[in-house]
Chain A
Amino acid sequence: MKTSVVGSRVVREDAWGKVFGQTKFPADVNLQGQIYAVVIRSPHPHARVLGINSEQAMSLAGVVAVLTAKDVPNNSHGVLFRDQPVLAEYIRMVGDPVAVVGAETEEIARAAAKLVEVEYQVLPAVFDPEEAMRPDALPLHPTLRPTNVLYHMPIRRGNLQEGWAQADVVIEKEYSTQHVDHAFLQPEAVLAHVDERGHMVVETATQYAHYDRGEIAHALGLRFSQVQVKTLAVGGAFGGREDISLQIMAALMAWNTLRPVKMENTREESFYSHSKRHPMRMHYKTGATKDGKLVALEAKIIGDAGAYSSWSINVLRKSAVHASGPYVIPNVSIDSYAVFTNNPYSGAMRGFGAAQTVLAYESQMDLLAKEIGISPLEIRLRNLFKVGSTTATGQVLTGSVPLDQCLAKIAPYLQRGGDSQ
């Protein structure tokens, strides 16, 4: 097959607007008569909002409205489950939004936000997912799950007992990874207004315009056809713009005040308001014969979902599927969990659960090689997936599996032995 596109260098057409600074990101659009809205977020990881007093804030000249949970027709959103409040009365993490202030200028809105008094009943919080998994731990989403275990994915293959019996070397270790923020360069921003048709128009940077539209319509109690989401230039996302951020709050303010509403996160607010990469705790036990053939793997992966579901189920499913790495292992037992805690919620981020397990399974390979006395390259060559291999999930690989070619290319750059510190 001949094509003039694949393999050729193509100039991306949007690049020109970007090098001249002409490209419009959401912070770059404005409307006549717009007001600015600022979010008040919880400083507590677990609490109940007992009362919100906005009298002082409302008395400040230039303040247009203060909206709270009571002003949201359907107070929920979320990509898998609508378990996240638009404006919270029950706080599950630091940064949960409790009120939005709209004012004539951003300065007034920020000053007014400081005058809104929120009374909290602070509750004990759980930050360790293994602690949160205990049956006696208070469930954070009792209507969704009876415990904090949002998801469990077991994978079983072969017979683990036989696997251990064949193993000459067994390495057992625990690995852990930390929260990571996408830190996309453009902080979240929105411009929302009710247009001449009476439609809610929301301009923003999102990975899911159609999804945002449904979420805004749901929360505001509008029909889909009454909501239009326009995606402007997206200044980086990496998964962090899959969950909705300011869009519903801006739309709610615009719907209530009938004024165009502009919202822009500072970098600090951005850190507080969007998802993080799942921290994972990975217990790995891997067995190999003295010839360096993998015979058994037992893995337990606990992903910290934080306060809300977001994409945790899909992410921890991917962790489970990738837990054995690109290696043939005949006897496998993998258990992957997503667990609610009062930490910032975890969601999509580049690699989507597959990235964390690399640390565990590749470290195990290096340690096994060292123990057996072969090079890190050699142990990989003896176990890697080829066409016809069966994965831990039972998939027979029939397509392109060029791992051997990849290793052959990098082999000259590796120092044999002693490179597995």
Chain B
Amino acid sequence: MIEIKLVVNDKPYTLEVEPSERLIDALRNRLGLLGTKEGCGEGECGACTVIMDGKTVNSCLVLAAQANGSVITSIEGVGNRRSPHRVQKAFVEVGAVQCGFCTPGMVLSAKNLLDKNSKPSNEEIGIAMSGNLCRCTGYDKILRAVKIAAEEGKE
């Protein structure tokens, strides 16, 4: 077992993890953060996206040990029913949510884009969301939701 220290959703944790344990396993099984979804286990679908030190990563491709010392945001760290993040609000209002399995990863990719670029172009939105697959094929509304969230953020 390996001891790691990391900050998840603003809370510090010290965990004992297996050498082969993936970050998604540590988040889901050790911390009970079940909003992070596993769709493919090989970095294709983006359902397991989390924000690690300001970058979106596929948590199925990151070993828990590699996350030692990092700061992580999972979907549980973004908004709530009282005060949803503007990305979450836009996703609901535009109808960008169908089966919902890709949604946590989509929200995190969109949030991370807007954290860094408050006025993204359509192309920049497309690139930022390109690592997240939606098999219900609701891409048009997803991209529109990100655009609306971006516009709401501009003041």
Which chain A residues have a beta carbon within 8 Å of chain B's beta carbons?
9, 11-12, 14-25, 27-28, 182-187, 233-238, 266-267
Contact of B100 among A11, A18, A187, A266 (CB under 8 A): A18
Interface residue from A12, A20, A182 paired with B79 (Cβ < 8 Å): A20
Interface of B with A (CB < 8 Å)? 33-42, 45, 47, 74-76, 78-81, 84, 88, 91-93, 95, 97-104, 107, 133-136
Q: How far is the CA of A17 from the CA of B136 in the complex (A)?
A: 18
A182's closest neighbor in chain B, by CB?
Answer: B135
Q: A20's contact among B36, B39, B88, B102, by CB below 8 Å, is which?
A: B88
How many angstroms from the CA of A231 to the CA of B37 in the assembled complex?
A: 18
Of B91, B97, B102, B134, most buried by chain A (CB within 10 Å of CB) is B97
CA distance A266 to B34 in the complex (A): 17
Closest residue of B by beta carbon distance from A14: B100
Q: Is the CB of A21 within 8 A of B35?
A: yes
B103 touches A18 (CB 8 A): yes
- A14-B97, A18-B104, A236-B135 given; 4 more Cβ-contact pairs under 8 Å: A14-B100, A15-B100, A238-B135, A267-B40
Contact A21 B76 (CB under 8 A): yes
| B134 nearest in chain A by CB position | A185
Closest to A186 in B: B101
The reply to whether A19 and B97 contact each other, CB–CB distance below 8 Å, is yes
* B132 CB to nearest A CB, Å: 10
B35 engages A235 (CB within 8 Å):
no
Bound-complex Cα distance A235 to B45 (A): 13
Closest 3 CB pairs of A and B: A21-B35, A18-B100, A21-B75
Contacts of A16 in B (CB 8 A): 81, 84, 92
Which one of B37, B42, B47 has the highest number of Cβ atoms from chain A below 10 Å of its Cβ?
A: B37
- The distance from the CB of A345 to the nearest CB of chain B, in whole angstroms, is 20
A interface majority secondary structure? loop
Asked if B99 contacts A235 (CB within 8 A), the reply is yes
| 16 residue pairs from A and B, CB less than 8 Å apart | A11-B92, A15-B91, A15-B100, A19-B79, A19-B84, A19-B97, A19-B103, A20-B79, A21-B33, A21-B74, A25-B101, A185-B37, A185-B47, A185-B101, A186-B101, A235-B39
Most chain B beta-carbon contacts within 10 A, residue among A11, A185, A236, A267: A185
Residues of B within 8 A of A11 (CB): 92-93, 95
Q: In the assembled complex, how far is the CB of residue B50 from the closest CB belonging to chain A, in whole angstroms?
A: 11
Of B95, B103, B134, the most chain A CB neighbours within 10 A belong to B103
Q: How far is the CA of A25 from the CA of B34 in the complex (A)?
A: 9
Minimum CB–CB distance for B25 against chain A, Å: 10
Inter-chain CA distance A237–B136, complex, in Å, is 9
Instruction: Report whether A12 and B101 are in contact in the complex, using a CB–CB cutoff of 8 Å.
Output: no
The chain A residue sitting closest to B40, CB to CB, is A267
Tell me the complex Cα distance, A185–B101, Å: 7
Q: How far is the CB of A118 from chain B (nearest CB, A)?
A: 25
B38 near A15 with CB under 8 A, answer no
Taking a contact as CB atoms closer than 8 A, the residue among B74, B76, B92, B135 that contacts A185 in the complex is B135
**B-chain residues with CB within 8 Å of residue A23 when the two chains form the complex:** 100
> Measured between C-beta atoms, what is the minimum distance from B148 to chain A in Å?
13
On whether the beta carbons of A266 and B41 are closer than 8 Å, the reply is: yes
Establish whether residues A235 and B92, one from each chain, have CB atoms under 8 Å apart when the complex forms. no
Contact B39 A233 (CB under 8 A): no
- B97–A185 contact, CB under 8 A? no
Kindly provide the distance from the CB of B135 to the nearest chain A CB, expressed in whole angstroms.
Answer: 5
- Write the chain B residue with the least CB distance to A266: B41
- Residues B99 and A15 in contact, CB atoms below 8 Å apart: no
Known: A19-B88, A24-B34, A234-B99. A187 touches B39 (CB 8 A): yes
Q: How far is the CB of A414 from chain B (nearest CB, A)?
A: 22
How close is A73's CB to chain B, nearest CB, in angstroms? 33
Contact present for A267 and B41 (CB under 8 Å): yes
